[in-house]
Amino acid sequence: MFLVHDTLEERQEKIASYDDPFVAVLLAAADFEWTVRRAILALGISATKEIKEDVLSRCSGLDKYKDAWKKEVEPLTGKGLSEIIPDWRYFKENAYPLRNRLVHGIEGSVTSQYAQERVKALLSASKAVAEFADSFGEPLYGRRIVRLKRRAKLRGSSSAKKKQESRS
């Protein structure tokens, strides 16, 4: 459905165009998880193989992603996942949990309006994470992410941190 060479805009446009709210929510949640996992790989301290095997292999759910981000990304960027995602509280309490309720059969269907608000929040979170990674010179789209060694800093760290501070 989605390919690595897709752009952020293409992917988000495709997800937003789905008429079935159930499908749109699941695709938006999958897009967020794909994006945050790639951001952790791209921005993390450890080699990508270590991150995949030791961090992401056991990572499922928003709290685990937040913990993985804190361990791998926050030491280099100075920003936690909850600081990057717009309206974190709504995202955590309303948008992301809908994915679990649909997947696990707690809710069988949702109205278009109810789903649209949450899809918008999920896509906004994906975009914020992708743009954050990009601001450190680590694009998430269109390339393989491979780092063989642990690192102490990111490419473009000082200019990206200044950009992030000016946004705050």
Angle CA(41)–CA(44)–CA(9) in degrees, nearest 5?
Answer: 50
pTM of the model as a whole: 0.87
Tell me, what amino acid is at 45?
A: I
Q: Where are the domains of the chain?
A: 8-167
pLDDT tens for the chain, 168 residues long, are: 667 678 899 999 999 999 999 999 999 999 999 999 999 999 999 999 999 999 999 888 999 999 999 999 999 999 999 999 999 999 999 999 999 899 888 877 788 899 999 999 999 999 999 999 999 999 998 878 888 888 777 776 554 555 555 555
**How many H helices and E strands in the chain?**
10, 0
Residues 6+ apart with CB under 8 A from 117: 94, 95
Q: How far apart are the C-alpha atoms of 26 and 99, rounded to whole Å?
A: 6
Radius of gyration of the chain (CA): 16
